[in-house]
Amino acid sequence: MSYSEAFSPNYITARERFRSASSSLGYQNSAYPIEQVSPTGEELTIDVAIGGSPYPRRTVVISSGLHGVEGFLGSAIQLALLEERQPIVALSSDIKVVLIHALNPYGFAWRRRWNENNVDLNRNFLLPQEVFEGSPKDYPKFNSFLNPISPPSQFEPYIIQALWLILKYGMTTLRNTLPVGQYDFPKGLFFGGHAPSKTQEILSSNLPQWIGNASDVVHIDFHTGLGGWGTYKLLLAVSATSDSCSRLTQRFGSETIEPNSTEGVSYQIRRWALLSTFAKSLLSIFL
C-alpha cells in the first residue's frame, strides 16, 4: 500500500478500514458512540484498538481527529502503522499500544474542526482547578473580525482587514491570542466549551483501563494545518529545558522538535489533565 492509499475519502470508510486492520492483527476493538450521526445517517463513534501487553511498563497512545477534519491524516497514519509498520507496533513484552481513532467523529464526518457544539476539543481539557470561563485579553478586539454576523461586503475585503490586524498587533500577539482558546463566545472560533465534552467524558471513563499500569506513557496526537506545506514538527508539551526535550532532540534532531513556547509555528499549549493524572512520566504531543 502506498501512503496515499492510506487516506480515506470519508469518516465512515476510514473507520471501517481502522476496525478491519486492527482486528485482523488481533487488537481488541471498542466503539464509543457520541450520540450524533454522519451526513448519511450512520452512528458516529470514537473507536479504540488496543494491542500488546496487558501488563505494560510502557504504553504508547496514538490518537487522531481531535480537530475533526484533521482526522484524514491521523487516520491514514494509524492505518499505515497497522498495515505496513506492524512489526514496529508489535511489541516487546512490556509495551501496550492504544490507537484512538477520531476523537472528534462529528467534525471528521462533517469535515469541520469543531465538534457538534462548536467546541474546539483541544481547549476543552482543563486542569481540575481551571474553569470554563474567560478569554485572552485581546480576543474581544478580534471578535467582530473572526466571527462576523454577516458576510463581508466588497468594501471590507477580508485580506485587507487581516493585514491591518497583523500590522497593528503583530503576528506573535495574534498567534498567542487567537488559537489559545476562549470560553466567552460560544459561536466564536476556538471556543473551549462551558463543560466537559462527550469526548472528554469517554476518555475520563476509559483512559485508566486503556493505559493499564504503565509507569511511562507517550501520547502522540496527530494534527494538520500549522507550518509549511508538506513539513512536520513534533510539538511538545514540555519546555526546551526539560530532560524530555533534550532526549527527543537527540533522537529526532532539533529541526523536527518544537518545545512548548510562544515562538515557532505553534502557540503556548496546555498539558492534558487526564493523561497526566494517570502516568508518572508523560510526554503529550499536541498541535
Comparing CB distances to Zn ion, the nearer of 47 and 221 is 221
Which of 67-75, 84-92, 175-183, 253-261 is the region at the interface with Zn ion (rule: CB under 5 A)? 67-75
Please, which residue, 67 or 175, has the CB nearer to Zn ion?
A: 67
Helix (H) or strand (E) holding 48: strand 43-52
Task: Please tell me the distance from the alpha carbon of residue 280 to that of residue 244, in angstroms, as a whole number.
Answer: 13
Least CB distance to Zn ion at residue 41 (A): 27
Pick the closer one to Zn ion by CB: 198 or 223. Answer: 223
Pick the closer one to Zn ion by CB: 65 or 212.
65
What length is written for the chain?
287
Phi, psi dihedrals of residue 76, rounded to the nearest 5°? -65, -40
Least Cβ distance, residue 153 to Zn ion (angstroms): 31
| Contact (Cβ atoms closer than 8 angstroms) between residue 199 and residue 115 | yes
Nearer to Zn ion, 179 or 212 (CB): 179
For residue 282 the three cell numbers come to 508523560
Closer CB to Zn ion, residue 15 or residue 67? Answer: 67
Please, what is the minimum distance in Å from the beta carbon of residue 47 to Zn ion? 19
CB contact burial 145-160 (16+ within 10 A = b; e otherwise): eeeeeeeeeeeeeeee
Residue of 67, 96, 198, 219 that binds Zn ion (CB under 5 A)? 67
Report which residue type is found at 49.
A
Binding segment (CB under 5 A) for Zn ion, from list 59-67, 71-79, 91-99, 173-181 = 59-67
# residues contacting Zn ion (CB under 5 A): 3
Q: What residue type is assigned to position 85 of the chain?
A: R
Give CA–CA dist 97/91, Å, rounded. 8
Question: Which helix H or strand E contains 95, and what residues bound it?
Answer: strand 95-101
CB of 190 to Zn ion, least distance (A): 11
Using the minimum distance from each CB to Zn ion, give the nearer residue, 68 or 188. Answer: 68
Copy the grid coordinates of residue 235: 510539538
Question: Minimum distance between the CB of residue 27 and Zn ion, rounded to whole angstroms?
Answer: 25
The CA distance from 269 to 192, in Å, is 13
Q: How far is the CB of 227 from Zn ion (least distance, A)?
A: 12
**Measured between alpha carbons, how far is 247 from 258 in angstroms, rounded to an integer?**
13
Q: Which of 17, 96, 123, 223 binds Zn ion (CB under 5 A)?
A: 223
- The candidate with the shortest Cα–Cα distance to 98, out of 209, 184, 263, 236, is 209
Cβ 287 to Zn ion shortest distance, Å: 5
Contact stretch for Zn ion (CB under 5 A) within 102-110, 203-211, 217-225, 268-276: 217-225
Choose the binding region for Zn ion from 48-56, 164-172, 219-227, 266-274 (rule: CB under 5 A): 219-227
The 155-184 site mask, x for binding Zn ion (CB under 5 A), equals ------------------------------
DSSP tag of 153: P
Residue with cell 473507520: 15
Q: How far apart are CA 111 and CA 124, in angstroms?
A: 19
Which positions touch Zn ion (CB under 5 A)?
Answer: 67, 70, 223
